[in-house]
Structure 1
Amino acid sequence: MVARMVDLRSDTVTKPSDAMRAAMAAAEVDDDVLGADPTAQRFEAEMAATMGKEAALFVPSGTMSNLIAVLVHCDVRGSEVILGDSSHIHVYENGGISTIGGVHPKTVRNNPDGTMDIDEIVAAIRRTDGALSFLYPTTRLICLENTHANRGGKCLTVEYTDKVGEIAKNRGLKLHIDGARIFNASVALGVPVDRLVKAADSVSVCLSKGLGAPVGSVLLGSKAFIDKAKFLRKTLGGGMRQIGVLCAAAYVAVRDNVGKLADDHRKAKVLAEGLKKIKQLTVDSSSVETNMVFFDIVDSRISPDKLCQVLEKRNNVLAMPAGSKSVRFVLHYQISDSDIQYALTCVEKAVEEILTGGGKLEHVANGTTKTTMDTRSTLTPA
């Protein structure tokens, strides 16, 4: 018998559905590098129409999609992009815009709701006049993230996005939206996705997060923008061949799973409300807007690493530490209501076990863990 597993590490861990696998097997394909894959062409055209943009490009990952967007908009080395200090592009994408593109990041503080203060964005834009203007990089781009992962999956409103877009337009800048979970934002806000990104010159949409496709992201913008993006995709090693196999699965993901996102958000609320009842934890359930739940541990005897290790080894519940005192759970359509209740029971048991000095987990040489009753052993981050 296979032990039950509830994987709450991310919404990237879903497995392809039977419908996706069938679509992949039946996909009509050709060489996309030669511009000949019909399934890719149809999917890109449909995504462009859905997002209200002229053209789209399927790429291997969100990191590559964002990198290409920044490099297209900032096509002169020494350009500068304004982006949040806790944004995915700045924190988690290996500094690619700098190391590969020669683009300088100008960070602005992200607020708890994922926004950057409008006044601070304006103040960060470099002046192009004055005697000393030649000393500075040239601002060419503003990047937003919606939903904002490091701010608990918060949604940027259409009003806010429009305001930033207006600033960009008035200053001769471009606006890119890292919309890895833009469909989550659209569903949560009740705003059509094309309206939510109308002010953006380009948008990156991840297909392998909440939508559940096995691979890929889509980059969208004007036809001229996508023509340049194709060149950079090839330069970065992202030119693939019979990608209709992947686009077929992505098509099913968009068709079948956008409608399930609201239920992911509901389950996240249920999970947050359940965690609130465990006195050693604290969570602001009112701040849960989409499919992410961040909770803090208020008992100093419990570390996020220790809690996650006990959950995994004792109960097959997988989670990720999110800080020195916090843990992140992420919901997706392959997590059931029963899974939520099971996870809550396991968290409660894990907290009790840690506090009562039950079995401890320690690392061994090969990077795995083992169980020991030696209470002197300690847990370290994986």
Structure 2
Amino acid sequence: MTVPPVGPPVDLRSDTVTRPDARMRAAMASAEVGDDVLDGDPTMRALEAKVSELLGTEDALWVPSGSMGNLIALCVHLERGDRFLAPDRAHILDLEAGTAAWLAGGMPRALPWTAGPGVPDPSDISRAVAPGGPYFALRDRLLCLENTHGAAGGTVTTASQHRRLVAAAHDSGLLVHLDGARLWNAASALGVAPAVLAEGADTVQVCLSKGLGAPVGSVLAGSAEFVRQARRVRKMLGGGVRQGGVLAAAGLVALERQDRLAVDHEHALLLAAGLADRGWKTAPPQTNIVAVPVHDPAGTVARLGQVGILTLPTDTGVRMITHCDVSRHDIIRTINAFPPPA
């Protein structure tokens, strides 16, 4: 007999499921707005300027999603017949519906995780780039990094690793785009400013609707000239946002909450440790993603759902992501919902 859930569901499927709280909704309701396409929206510009400052770039552009931000960067950086490199299983390779090839016209090449989960080694870049070659060869143009690397379990690329990868890319004649959807989590885990982890990258995408809790939106940052081109590509993709200040206001509130990401990381560590105590082979997470190897991922997810614990299956187990709408009590309830492994 199925045991009914005690209390509302605990949603650990992603940190994208968060809902804006009363303060964020009030900021949205009272936001000063304009027409971002025609005259500019003052709240949107304030958000873009703030993110640009945090990342150490000249300018920035709000976009509806991180996938659109990554796609715009590739559209600006690549020409048809160009190749881009990215760590194996990067979001830009596996989880963006193939738009890198379909719309940006780039041919992807996955790099191995030589320097740790989700992290290539600089030597992988130099080996992958083919100098010269006949006219019909692919042209290596861009390196796309991801920090944190979601498919690797929210793993962090350190500042020193990032600098070496960027230097290797530039030495090989490549531009660098950083998919920093969870860069805030990486910065929190390492105790450094986000700009330190974006240093040297030509463009950076950061998400506001994951750990920071905004309802929607990412920001794409780079040089002033890049943002000028990116704004045009955003429009070509249907991304004129008009009175976007209503959404930007939520982003400004979200940026004030970077410090609380440490709580999500503590909850993830608590969850992993609790499951390990119950016999599950769960490694301590670096940030807010907990991966649990199980023999029957889909069945395990279904059984947890029956008692109000919402998770997602992976190829090898169950994935859970902590966020601002998950309490310590929810973590304890989740641990107790896992039976000892067979």
State the one-letter code of the partner of 2:126: V
**Deviations along 1:10-35, whole A, 9 cap, x unmatched?**
00000011111000000011111114
Q: Distance in 2 between matches of 1:196 and 1:102?
A: 28
**Once the 2 structures are TM-superposed, how far is the Cα of residue 97 of structure 1 from its aligned partner?**
1.1
The equivalent residue for 1:90 is: 93
Q: Distance in 2 between matches of 1:144 and 1:170?
A: 16
**Once the 2 structures are TM-superposed, how far is the Cα of residue 332 of structure 1 from its aligned partner?**
0.4
**Deviations along 1:174-202, whole A, 9 cap, x unmatched?**
11100000010001011111111111111
State the one-letter code of the partner of 1:147: T
The equivalent residue for 2:305 is: 312
The equivalent residue for 1:267 is: 267
1:277 paired with 2:277, answer yes
Q: Distance in 1 between matches of 2:125 and 2:168?
A: 9
**Deviations along 1:320-350, whole A, 9 cap, x unmatched?**
0111x311010001111111001111122xx
Is the CA contact 1:54–1:223 (under 8 Å) kept in the aligned structure 2?
Answer: yes
Q: Distance in 2 between matches of 1:41 and 1:282?
A: 47
Q: Secondary structure at the match of 1:151?
A: coil
Match of 1:123 among 111, 122, 127: 127
**Once the 2 structures are TM-superposed, how far is the Cα of residue 169 of structure 1 from its aligned partner?**
2.2
Q: Distance in 1 between matches of 2:233 and 2:8?
A: 43
The equivalent residue for 1:172 is: 173
Task: Please provide the CA RMSD for this pair.
Answer: 1.5
Q: Secondary structure at the match of 1:215?
A: coil
Q: Distance in 1 between matches of 2:227 and 2:40?
A: 16
Q: Distance in 2 between matches of 1:40 and 1:183?
A: 20
1:294 paired with 2:287, answer no
Q: Distance in 1 between matches of 2:84 and 2:77?
A: 9
**Deviations along 1:151-191, whole A, 9 cap, x unmatched?**
11000011111111112222332111000000100010111
Map 1:1-382 → 2, pairs under 5 A: 3-74=7-78, 76-111=79-114, 112-128=116-132, 132-255=133-256, 257-279=257-279, 281-285=280-284, 288-297=285-294, 300=295, 303-313=296-306, 315-323=307-315, 325-348=316-339
**Once the 2 structures are TM-superposed, how far is the Cα of residue 2 of structure 1 from its aligned partner?**
9.5
Q: Distance in 1 between matches of 2:297 and 2:163?
A: 38
**Deviations along 1:120-173, whole A, 9 cap, x unmatched?**
211111212xxx432311111101000000111000011111111112222332
Identity %: 42
**Once the 2 structures are TM-superposed, how far is the Cα of residue 100 of structure 1 from its aligned partner?**
0.8
Q: Secondary structure at the match of 1:282?
A: coil
The equivalent residue for 1:373 is: none
Q: Distance in 2 between matches of 1:133 and 1:326?
A: 45
State the one-letter code of the partner of 2:301: C
**Deviations along 1:101-136, whole A, 9 cap, x unmatched?**
2111122123442111221211111212xxx43231
User: Which one scores higher on RCO, CA 8 angstroms, separation ≥ 6?
Assistant: 2
Q: Distance in 2 between matches of 1:254 and 1:44?
A: 11
Q: Secondary structure at the match of 1:155?
A: coil
Q: Distance in 2 between matches of 1:240 and 1:67?
A: 17
**Once the 2 structures are TM-superposed, how far is the Cα of residue 249 of structure 1 from its aligned partner?**
0.4
Q: Secondary structure at the match of 2:336?
A: helix
Relative distance call for 1:91 and 1:35 in structure 2 (3 A) is farther
Q: Distance in 2 between matches of 1:2 and 1:151?
A: 32
Gapped regions of structure 2 (runs ≥ 5)? none
**Deviations along 1:44-79, whole A, 9 cap, x unmatched?**
1111011100000000000000000111111x2111
Is the CA contact 2:126–2:172 (under 8 Å) kept in the aligned structure 1?
Answer: no
Q: Give the TM-score taking structure 1 as reference length.
A: 0.85
Q: Distance in 2 between matches of 1:236 and 1:84?
A: 26
Is the CA contact 2:52–2:60 (under 8 Å) kept in the aligned structure 1?
Answer: yes
Is the CA contact 1:126–1:136 (under 8 Å) kept in the aligned structure 2?
Answer: no
Gapped regions of structure 1 (runs ≥ 5)? 356-382
**Deviations along 1:229-257, whole A, 9 cap, x unmatched?**
000000011111110000000110111x2
Q: Secondary structure at the match of 1:177?
A: strand
**Deviations along 1:234-292, whole A, 9 cap, x unmatched?**
0011111110000000110111x21110111011000000111223x31122xx11001
Is the CA contact 1:86–1:110 (under 8 Å) kept in the aligned structure 2?
Answer: no
